[in-house]
Amino acid sequence: MIRRIAVLVGSLRKNSNSERIARAIEAEAPKNVVFDIVPIGDLPFYNQDLEMASPPAAWTLFRQRVNAAEAVLFVTPEYNRSVPAVLKNAVDVGSRPYGASVYAGKPAAVVSSSLGPISGFGANHHLRQSLAFLDMPTLQQPEMYLGSVGDWFDEDGAVKNEKTRAFLGQFAARFASWIELTAPATKASEAA
């Protein structure tokens, strides 16, 4: 059964480490898993007044793409011991209007990274607080705090270290199993 994962990358920088990590996980993932990196940089900041009038087209498209997925992978750097504002905004946009969250019940996983050794621990746990509220069963193990990622990649954006690629592959396989275990039955039957 094919499983679609919406991937939200918390960095807007072209060829960011977060995007490279997401693509490296995708490259190592089981073949029945399809990744959809959903852009978040063009989402207007959430404002309920906009919702009441006519939601911006970018919100509608974003919600449709996440809603079409059976799971969500968040890959983010850490900014000031938390998640980047653009990622928090994507969480807010997808969770509204109240009662119509595109995240509710979807399996999730969080991968955080930093150039230093702390590995985005603060961002990872701040994001998990929101995901718990959004009723997203979130993969607990393996924990994905990735440190010193600045030297992970070659000129083409590929992970240089074979053990690191294997670790990312183990994570991808575990997340795929988590999706099978926790995905809502209605989504699983629609994908068949």
Q: Is 19's pLDDT higher than 70?
A: yes
Q: For the segment 46-71, what is each residue's pLDDT rounded down to a tens digit?
A: 999 999 989 999 999 999 999 999 99
Residue ranges and CATH numbers for the domains of the chain are 3-191 (3.40.50.360)
CA separation, residue 14 to residues 10, 42, 158 (Å): 12, 14, 15
Confidence tier at 184 by pLDDT (50, 70, 90)? confident
Question: What percentage of the chain exceeds 90 in pLDDT?
Answer: 86
Q: pLDDT tens digits for 95-141?
A: 999 999 999 999 999 999 998 888 889 999 999 999 999 999 999 99
What are 148-183's pLDDT values in tens digits?
998 999 988 899 999 999 999 999 999 999 999 999
pLDDT at 186: 52
Model pTM score: 0.94
Q: What is the pLDDT of residues 87-99, one digit of tens each?
A: 999 999 999 999 9
- Residue 109: its pLDDT value, please? 98
Reported for 133-136, long-range contacts at CB under 8 A and 24+ positions apart, including other chains, are 134/91, 134/95, 134/101, 134/103, 134/104, 135/101, 135/103, 135/104, 135/105, 136/72, 136/103, 136/104, 136/105, 136/106, 136/107, 136/108
Percent of the chain with pLDDT over 70: 96
Q: Which class for 57: exposed (0-12), middle (13-18), buried (19 or more C-beta within 10 A)?
A: exposed
